[in-house]
Amino acid sequence: MADIISIAKSIFENQKAEMIIGYAKATKEGRTRPVVVRTLDEVKELVLNSFCLNNLSTYLTRKENKGKRVAIVAKGCDIKAIVQLIAENQIRRENVYVVGVKCSGVRRGFEGHDSTKIAEKCITCNVKTPHLFDELVEMKGEELPGTDEKAESIVKLEQMTANERFAYWEEQFERCIKCYACRQICPLCYCERCIADKSMPRWIETSPTKRGNFAWNIVRAFHLSGRCIGCNECERVCPAGIPLSLINRKMAKVAKSEFGYESGMDPNAPTLIGTYDVKDKEDFIR
């Protein structure tokens, strides 16, 4: 299997794309940063290792990248987002050249996270070998330790009464500073005008108060239900350390158990939220 740099070279040489979104070394060891390369000279910047955490598909829906033929380095989890974007008619399959990464798992995060451990999403990953790609590249990784503590937390939350659960989230959302980093990093938060930014009428209070924070986080959870592909970027970037994966994973769990739907798997499957079916069962919210 060719390495990332030779793959990138051949993409430009064979004019498969006009730009490549990939990973480069950051200024600090043990960290990478996204990079956009546009020329053969720049491809030497590209790297691929277990510190390649970012889900780069968030750049695909940028205004300036729309309609362009873009190559992207994507792990299985990131490809789920690409699949979902195709299914939701946000990008066209023929406009994106996917360099799929055969991945053995990435680390939990950069600063403030335990980077010696494997990311929780990798423990239950079902797309270590990508399910949609134009070309494959292998990430040479090492075995990383770590357990999926969030799975236990979800079970604990399920066992709580509604009031206890409310109190739990009240405490978590209290810390929210309304920077909207969760939205900005999210590949599926692609609305040109987010509901949180609308002021006439104002649906969501901009104040980071209890009420405004609840409104924002709950609305976002609903908007991602049946859509979130579990890349967990929102939780990684939250400067206030809110465990957003607990909500997103729970909603994905419900989508699976109640509708047999898993987002980001099949670009041709009808989306859960965007599909009307007279046979929809309605008793799930009872």
Partner 1 sequence: MEEYVISLEGIKGLLENLTREGFNIYAPSKNNDRFVKVKDIDEVALFPDRRPTDISAKECLFPKCEPVFYYKREKNNVEIVDIDPNGNKVLFGLKPCDAASFTIIHKVFNWDYKDKFYNKRFDNSLIIGLACTYLDDYCFCTSVGLSPVSTVGSDILLVRLSDVSFGVIVITDKGGQLVKRYPQLFEKGEPTKSKQVLDSIGGPARKFDHKKVKEWLDNNFETDFFNSIGDICVGCGQCTFVCPTCHCFDIVDEDYLYSEGRRMKNWDGCQFYLFTLHASGHNPRDTQYKRYRQRVNHKFKYYVDRFQEVLCTGCGRCSRGCPVSIDIGDIVSRISKLS
Binding site for partner 1 (CB under 8 A): 26-28, 31-36, 54, 58-59, 64, 110-112, 175, 177-181, 183-185, 197, 202, 205-209, 212, 233, 236-237, 239-241
Nearer Cβ to partner 1 (120/235): 235
- What's the rounded Cα separation, in Å, for the pair 28 and 233? 20
Q: Residue 186 Cβ, how far from partner 1 at the closest point, in Å? A: 9
Nearer Cβ to partner 1 (33/250): 33
Distances (CA, A) of 148 to 1, 108, 144, 168: 31, 11, 13, 20
Nearer Cβ to partner 1 (15/27): 27
Tokens coding 84: 């979902």
Q: Residue 121 Cβ, how far from partner 1 at the closest point, in Å? A: 16
Nearer Cβ to partner 1 (29/283): 29
- What's the rounded Cα separation, in Å, for the pair 22 and 38? 11
- What's the rounded Cα separation, in Å, for the pair 250 and 154? 7
**Cα–Cα nearest to 75, from 132, 26, 18:** 132
Q: Residue 169 Cβ, how far from partner 1 at the closest point, in Å? A: 18
**Cα–Cα nearest to 226, from 265, 271, 182, 278:** 271
Nearer Cβ to partner 1 (184/257): 184
- What's the rounded Cα separation, in Å, for the pair 74 and 56? 7
Q: Residue 36 Cβ, how far from partner 1 at the closest point, in Å? A: 4
Nearer Cβ to partner 1 (132/186): 186
Q: Residue 185 Cβ, how far from partner 1 at the closest point, in Å? A: 5
Contacts of 168 (CB under 8 A, 6+ apart): 157, 160
